[in-house]
């Protein structure tokens, strides 16, 4: 299946460069380019791309607000891959809170960029290693109640909470299946139920939820 991609960046050379790089991939088709957040929102609705590569700093409406508007559109299924040269905590945090599915620095290689598009298109979480470290540091400073397994206030069952915990620790479905000694298809079913119950778009949002509720804290091994 061909992945339809939209590129939003205020620098024309970057848009054209990313377009050329991704356009050379047999399974990725660049369907449009946007020069700012307003245009990105409009083209997202018009073209219905699978993945949007979104710059953060753009004139007028920035990438974070554009991401927020696109992900709040109930008819949009586009995954947002945020691209930036700025490896800063507030951008990472706000982009993910706005609904981004991945966060990648513009210094990433062409191969990494294409693979990132495939990863977020498949519904997986993607964060650059340096970004992940900074994100966890941000969550470490947050105070909040610890969410216990099978907490009466949680809509999740004990098993679903265990799966969410492992998702937040970065495990893929196959790794979760091995850890819990269940079939990988069963894990996929649990993931779908978790996202539906919590009203989340994808695994990245599940990770954000897990850290914000205190289910996972940086440095925990369990």
Give the pLDDT confidence of 131-176 residue by residue, as tens digits. 555 665 565 555 444 444 445 567 889 899 999 988 887 777 888 9
pTM, entire model: 0.72
Arithmetic mean of pLDDT, 105-112 = 82
Answer whether 36's CB lies under 8 Å from 60's CB. Answer: yes
- CATH second-level architecture of 144-212? Orthogonal Bundle (1.10)
Arithmetic mean of pLDDT, 82-99 = 74
Arithmetic mean of pLDDT, 95-116 = 84
**For residue 108, what pLDDT band results from cuts at 50, 70 and 90?**
confident
pLDDT, residue 88, reads 61
Higher local confidence (pLDDT), 159 or 74 = 159
Residue indicated by tokens 């105070």 = 143
CATH fold of 3-137 reads Rossmann fold (3.40.50)
Q: SS3 for 3?
A: strand
Question: Which residues of the chain are in CATH 3.40.50.2300 domains?
Answer: 3-137
Summary mean pLDDT of the chain: 82
* DSSP assignment of 119-158: HHHTT--EE-HHHHHHHHHHHHT-------TT-TT-SS-H
**Cα(8)–Cα(16) distance, integer angstroms:** 11
Asked whether the predicted pLDDT for residue 221 surpasses 50, the reply is no
State how far the alpha carbon of 44 is from the alpha carbons of 34, 97, 184, in Å.
9, 19, 33
**For residue 65, what pLDDT band results from cuts at 50, 70 and 90?**
very high
pLDDT, residue 74, reads 74
Q: SS3 for 50?
A: coil
Arithmetic mean of pLDDT, 173-202 = 90
**For residue 130, what pLDDT band results from cuts at 50, 70 and 90?**
low
**For residue 202, what pLDDT band results from cuts at 50, 70 and 90?**
confident
CB atoms within 10 A of CB 208: 20
End-to-end CA distance of the chain: 38
């Amino acid at each position: 299946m061909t992945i339809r991609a939209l590129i939003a960046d205020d620098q024309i050379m970057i848009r054209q460069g990313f377009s050329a790089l991704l356009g050379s991939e047999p399974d990725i088709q660049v369907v449009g380019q946007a020069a700012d957040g307003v245009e990105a929102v409009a083209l997202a609705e018009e073209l219905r791309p699978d993945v949007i590569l979104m710059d953060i700093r753009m004139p007028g409406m920035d990438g974070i607000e554009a991401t927020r508007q696109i992900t709040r559109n109930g008819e949009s299924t586009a995954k947002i891959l945020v691209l930036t040269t700025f490896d800063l905590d507030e951008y990472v945090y706000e982009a993910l809170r706005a609904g981004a599915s991945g966060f990648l620095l513009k210094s990433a290689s062409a191969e990494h960029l294409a693979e990132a598009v495939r990863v977020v298109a498949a519904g997986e979480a993607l964060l650059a290693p340096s970004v992940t470290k900074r994100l966890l540091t941000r969550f470490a400073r947050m105070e909040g109640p610890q969410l216990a397994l099978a907490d009466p206030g949680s809509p999740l069952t004990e098993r679903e909470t265990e799966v969410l915990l492992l998702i937040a620790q970065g495990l893929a479905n196959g790794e979760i299946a091995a850890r819990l000694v269940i079939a990988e298809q069963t894990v996929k079913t649990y993931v779908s139920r978790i996202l539906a119950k919590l009203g989340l778009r994808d695994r990245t949002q599940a990770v954000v939820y897990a850290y914000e509720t205190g289910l996972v804290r940086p440095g925990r091994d369990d």
